[in-house]
Amino acid sequence: MAPHADVGAGTMNGFSITNGTLTPPEFIHNQKETFIVNSPDVQYSADQIRSKYVYRTTTVTKSGDYYVAAPKETTYDFKVDRKVGKTGLMLVGLGGNNGTTVTGGILANRRNLTFETKEGPRPSNYYGSLVMSSTMKLGTDAISNEEVNIPFHDVLPMVHPNDLVIGGWDISSMNLADAMDRASVLEPDLKRQLRKEMALMTPLKSIYYPDFIAANQEDRADHILEGSKACMAHVEQLRTDIRDFKRNNNLDKVIVLWSANTERFAEIIPGVNDTADNLLKAIEQGHEEVSPSTVFAVACILEKTPFINGSPQNTFVPGAVQLAEQHNAFIGGDDFKSGQTKMKSALVEFLINAGIKLTSIASYNHLGNNDGKNLSSQKQFRSKEISKSNVVDDMVAANSVLYKKGEHPDHTVVIKYMPAVGDNKRALDEYYAEIFMGGHQTISLFNVCEDSLLASPLIIDLVILAEMFTRIQWKNNTEPEYKNFHSVLSVLSYMLKAPMTPPGTPVVNALAKQRNALTNIFRACVGLQPESDMTLEHKLFPEAKSKKLVQ
């Protein structure tokens, strides 16, 4: 491990130090790191960052009428591959609203385009992306005592979205320029500047099982693989598509993300999709209860390609999760958390943590894009209703003062298709709560959100973070070998309405907890403790200052 170094002179993790100035070794300079950790528990090399991290938790047992809390320490070793390889993003639903918006946005940022809007010229940006447009507290300045914050993207070596190679599948044959016009999301001047490049991009043929999406989508389905139910030929074709995309673009890895239509929920049937073997057998036999998204998931798992589900259906049936565990492949889901639900998870967390008893939540929204058209079918709406309805459960369960066991706020969700509003979704929410001494509080929110412009940065975040976790390994310090994170990437939950967790582990929907988990895992990878926000250095009076004041 690298030794502690004097800030004035010497060496630190390969840096030479002269009069307090750090000169980085070539491998650090090439990666453009913005900070170095000075700790005996952190080691840098050209290929890796290694850290030793003490994880402190509290275990609780029940003894009679008392809880007994005991501090617990576990030492972990983290290893991060510093090489960021060339990465591809394959979208299922490439020609949809989200697909064309995220593609156009990345191309615009790559070319540094400025475009005209009604409010004047606007530069391309990645606003709405946690990774690209937010910061993380690194620590406190040693001299000024002020907080030092760095871009989230600079915490560890990560893929830059401008470098992503984009491809994917769609049931519609439209090239991406025409599909971008059909979506009606991006500004006209931006579309004009992107048209030539996007006209050259066409999706691969996708799979289409009519029973799983609304009948009103049939007119789009002119670009499909032969067969209307699951089969191993579809799995193999998708695997071939991934391999060809990787080879043709000289990629190191590919991330696949479902941004296609919401499917109906698949029924969980013993002997069909309850185990990995049964699921593979069901696909071979063409069972009608295997959804297109599950077929995509299986293909990606067999290719050891991370697959993320951005829609609310139950893509990851038990058999798919077990298959991912068997193949040590990453999966994540479900359903992008962009507008109304993100506001809900933040506001409910605030109210309950403030000791206010939320008794009902009424959520209504209407939208006019193709997602709204598909959701006008009851079976597909039911998938969305489930993903939107469960986002307060863990926050309610955590407060036994406000809620008795089994007690829960009334919660209803309504979605209506209104073609006239297009991608500008209208979300109305009413929160009704009990306050002090029989009083009540009503909070009403009216949120107009451009749906695809909120969802597209989440796609970028999910891809960057999924790729990042392919390069992180860890082990308990008593174990001989490093291992990957669990196949179910619950750490992606900040971007997802109904986050998946490994079997038997709790689901966390509280927005602040989700972000803190992600931030603190990244801090652990560079040997830094979580930010406690205690700021004791500002609250406890230093002895020297105290004596000076007395004098």
Q: What is the arrangement of strands in the sheet containing 307-309, beginning at the earlier edge strand?
A: 204-205, 165-170, 87-92, 253-258, 307-309, 331-333
Catalytic residue among 342, 357, 425, 429: 425
Does the annotation count 483 as an active-site position? no
CA distances from 219 to 222, 349, 387, 422, 427 (A): 7, 42, 27, 19, 28
Q: Is there a contact between 384 and 312 (Cβ–Cβ < 8 Å)?
A: yes
Catalytic residue among 170, 335, 371, 423: 335
Question: How far is it, in rounded angstroms, from Cα 423 to Cα 184?
Answer: 8
Strands (E), 64-155: 66-81, 87-92, 114-117, 120-123, 135-140, 147-151
Does the annotation count 335 as an active-site position? yes
* Percent helix / strand / coil, the chain, rounded to 5: 35, 25, 40
Question: How far is it, in rounded angstroms, from Cα 302 to Cα 285?
Answer: 18
Contacts for 125 with CB less than 8 Å, ≥ 6 apart: 109, 133
| CA nearest to 96, candidates 370, 473, 379, 456 | 370
Does the annotation count 497 as an active-site position? yes
Q: Is there a contact between 215 and 380 (Cβ–Cβ < 8 Å)?
A: no
Does the annotation count 425 as an active-site position? yes
**Could you tell me the end-to-end alpha-carbon distance of the chain, in angstroms, rounded to an integer?**
46
Task: Retrieve residue 130's tokens.
Answer: 């946690």
Question: How far is it, in rounded angstroms, from Cα 356 to Cα 477?
Answer: 43
Catalytic residue among 384, 388, 423, 461: 384
| Angle subtended by helix axes 176-183 and 97-110, to nearest 10 | 110
Question: How far is it, in rounded angstroms, from Cα 272 to Cα 287?
Answer: 8
Half-sphere exposure of 93 (CA within 13 A, CB side): 26
Contacts for 340 with CB less than 8 Å, ≥ 6 apart: 363, 365, 388, 425, 427, 429, 447, 449
Catalytic residues: 335, 384, 425, 497
